[in-house]
Amino acid sequence: MGAAAPDPASDRPRKFIPELEGLRGAVVLLVVLGHTGVATSVQGWSYMHSTGNGVWAIMLNRVAVAFPIWFVMTGYLLYRAFALYTLTGERKPNVKRYFWRRALRILPAYWVLTITALLVLNRDTVHGVWEWVRPLLLLQIWEKGAIPMGMMHTWSNANDFLFYLAMPAFAWLLHRYARRAESHEARVKRLLVPLAVPVFIGFGFFTWLHFPQFRDDPMKLWPTQYFWPMSYMGWLSVGMMLAVLSAAAETRPDAVPRVYRLIGRHPAKLWLGALLIFVLACLSPLADYRLVDYVAAPAAAADYWLFLAFSVAVFAPLTVPGVRFRLAGLMLDNSLLRFFGRISYSVYLWHIFVYAKFVGPLFAPEIGGYWEVLGVELALCVMVGYASYIVVEKPFHMLRPRLGKAPVELSVAVSTPAETPVRAEAVRAPRDAQA
């Protein structure tokens, strides 16, 4: 982990964590891999009487287990400063600066994509002001068929933005409840218990959306409600729970729940567990995962917990203060994945547009082989994503010190020495966690 960055204008010191940047890069690559599998018919679709390409189709389908990592990471990164404030009573986060940081990070690049997609791919279907305003305000998920062509994946951006808006209110409610506790341990429990509730609400809503009344689409596609935030609030909440545990370990490592100490002692074992979860997801008999068809409720219920468990197993070891392990450094803290992590937001934004405008027409009428298409898709995504990062994202990041009172480099809020009175080695660095 990088050294704490003293920033007098910031709410609190911040730290750059290279493994998190590499993880962003890994997840965006998996998303592109999966979507390319759909585009090249490696993954089947019963509506088109396609059965998919065996084991390879299943593996590309199930890389979706990595997608919740983004939501878990969002909950962790956004809530950590609020958790530190509740546990220590010091350095209350400035909500105005928080909103500036989020807006500068998310909106400029998203707006450029939206305007481009509407002009280039949707000109014939945009007939009024509302068709422009709706996606610009990230409201496209609330109406059936309202997501523009080339922007089908932006349902996640719309959900993220709603979570960004709601986070200060969530944090305030949790703070009001937890601050009444007399001890540090009691405050931690008062933060964790309410955060478990959205996990089960999300499970219920996600499973309900796969009941028969939502599976009557002749093309076996997803209903509008699938893109609503209720299904994904649990993933965000788990990230917030990890933020609480991480903040607690940083400020009072002697009072951290035992399960979190075990994560810090055996991080590589959790990654092995993540691999086993992926294998289990591939072998699940609850649906034909060679197909991209919308699955029934039993498969959806299992997927909810499998996806969540995979995300926690991968991400949780990276949140334990003072713990680094060789496997994470080798796989995530390398120049390739950190480069993809740096441009991951732009690559994610543009990868569907790139396929719809360039890659698909290039290989039409017969889409080429998977690796051929993937090579062209990745090359174009890197070029467009890097250009978007340099021309759009980075200039607005430069405004973060002025408007958001934060370093230009994306980072994580950390405690100050005054907030860490107890330094017992409750989270012992294990052999497999030594850098």
pLDDT tens, residue order, the chain (435 aa): 344 444 444 455 667 788 899 999 999 999 999 999 888 888 888 776 777 788 888 999 899 888 899 999 999 999 999 999 999 888 888 898 899 889 999 999 999 999 999 999 999 888 889 999 999 999 999 999 899 999 999 999 999 999 999 999 999 999 999 998 888 889 999 999 999 999 999 999 999 999 998 888 766 678 999 999 999 999 999 999 999 999 999 888 877 888 898 998 899 999 999 999 999 999 999 998 998 888 999 999 999 999 999 999 999 999 998 888 888 888 999 999 999 999 999 999 999 999 999 998 888 767 768 899 999 999 999 999 999 999 999 998 888 777 655 565 555 666 554 455 443 333 333 333 332
Q: Is residue 321 part of a domain?
A: yes
CA 38 – CA 64 distance, rounded (Å): 12
> Which amino acid appears at position 244 of this protein?
V
- DSSP code of 412? E
CA 170 – CA 40 distance, rounded (Å): 42
Q: Is residue 164 part of a domain?
A: yes
CA 214 – CA 222 distance, rounded (Å): 8
- The continuous run of DSSP H or E covering 15 comes out as strand 14-15
Structure tokens at 272: 């092995």
Residue 310: phi, psi to the nearest 5?
A: -60, -45
CA 432 – CA 412 distance, rounded (Å): 24
Q: Is residue 286 part of a domain?
A: yes
pLDDT at residue number 1: 39
Q: Is residue 304 part of a domain?
A: yes
pLDDT at residue number 427: 38
pLDDT at residue number 189: 93
pLDDT at residue number 50: 75
Please say whether the beta carbons of 155 and 31 come within 8 A.
Answer: no
Q: Is residue 17 part of a domain?
A: no
Domain of residue 225: give its range.
Answer: 67-334+398-427
pLDDT at residue number 432: 35
Structure tokens at 333: 């803290």
Q: Is residue 19 part of a domain?
A: no
Residue 319: phi, psi to the nearest 5?
A: -100, -10
Tell me the torsion sign for CA atoms 29, 31, 34, 35. Answer: negative
Helices assigned H by DSSP within 222-369: 233-251, 258-265, 267-283, 297-315, 326-332, 335-342, 344-354, 360-363
Q: Is residue 390 part of a domain?
A: no
Structure tokens at 318: 């990276």
> Which amino acid appears at position 58 of this protein?
I
CB-based contacts of 45: which residues, under 8 Å, 6+ apart?
38, 220, 291, 292, 293
Q: Is residue 254 part of a domain?
A: yes
What is the distance of C-alpha 252 from the center of its chain?
A: 28
pLDDT at residue number 218: 66
- Looking at the 3D structure of the chain, how many domains does it have? 1
Could you tell me how many residues make up the chain? 435
Q: 39, 29, 34, 67: which is closest to 369 by C-alpha?
A: 39
